[in-house]
Chain A
Amino acid sequence: NAGVMQNPRHLVRRRGQEARLRCSPMKGHSHVYWYRQLPEEGLKFMVYLQKENIIDESGMPKERFSAEFPKEGPSILRIQQVVRGDSAAYFCASSPRSGLAGYEQYFGPGTRLTVT
């Protein structure tokens, strides 16, 4: 009964490089959410995806950021041409979204991105 898995746990990138963050939801969950957290702050919604569909990306910057959740494989959050301001912890959460239990979101351990 594995929980939400994220990798890598830590990622260091130089300015201008690409960062790829992966998220495997809990078994049976087909809804994935990505959040960003800065030190000493709460979590900020970025994007909500179902399998092969982006449902709501209103919290994600329109440039350099993209997300996908393919039919097979993990969800990917991609940040192109990273800048120092992208340094943060990125969390993925999954939900079964079936009945009332679908409103619960379960988080992974996060990926801590550091841009040098």
Chain B
Amino acid sequence: GQQLNQSPQSMFIQEGEDVSMNCTSSSIFNTWLWYKQDPGEGPVLLIALYKAGELTSNGRLTAQFGITRKDSFLNISASIPSDVGIYFCAGLTSGTYKYIFGTGTRLKVLA
């Protein structure tokens, strides 16, 4: 079945640093969603991407829809302690209803 490889699996960074993570697949997607999940809570939608090459920002977060349509990237600038959590990507292929979720990037911010 389809798989999304998300990397890195986890990362420790210093407060104020920028963070980059990505999602890659062998399949082509026409929609990418990025979520953040805190412990014991449901995922919260951060950014939605609909076109190859699209670059979208939400505050300190910027996400890009890869030009090949097989990958997506999420950057967080000037990280703060509340950025701690698990970040998931989700991809949707044309004509389907099922989003495929990545395995998550666990972010820990050291104050």
Contact = CB atoms under 8 A, between A and B. Distances in A.
Interface in A66-116: 91, 100, 103-110, 112
Given A48-B98, A55-B97, A56-B97, A100 B50 contact: yes
Contacts of B44: 107
B97 A107 contact: no
A110 B99 contact: no
Contacts of A44: 101
A48 B97 CA distance: 7
A41 interface: yes
Contacts of B31: 103
Contacts of B98: 45, 48, 56, 58-59
Given A42-B88, A43-B88, A100-B50, A105 B99 contact: yes
A contact residues, range: 20 to 34
Contacts of B90: 43, 105
Given A48-B97, A103-B92, A108-B42, A42 B48 contact: no
Interface string A30-59: 000101000001111100100000011011
B74 to A, nearest CB: 15
A57 to B, nearest CB: 11
A21 B41 CA distance: 16
Contact of A91 (B33, B43, B92): B43
Interface string B82-111: 000000101010000111111110000000
B86 to A, nearest CB: 9
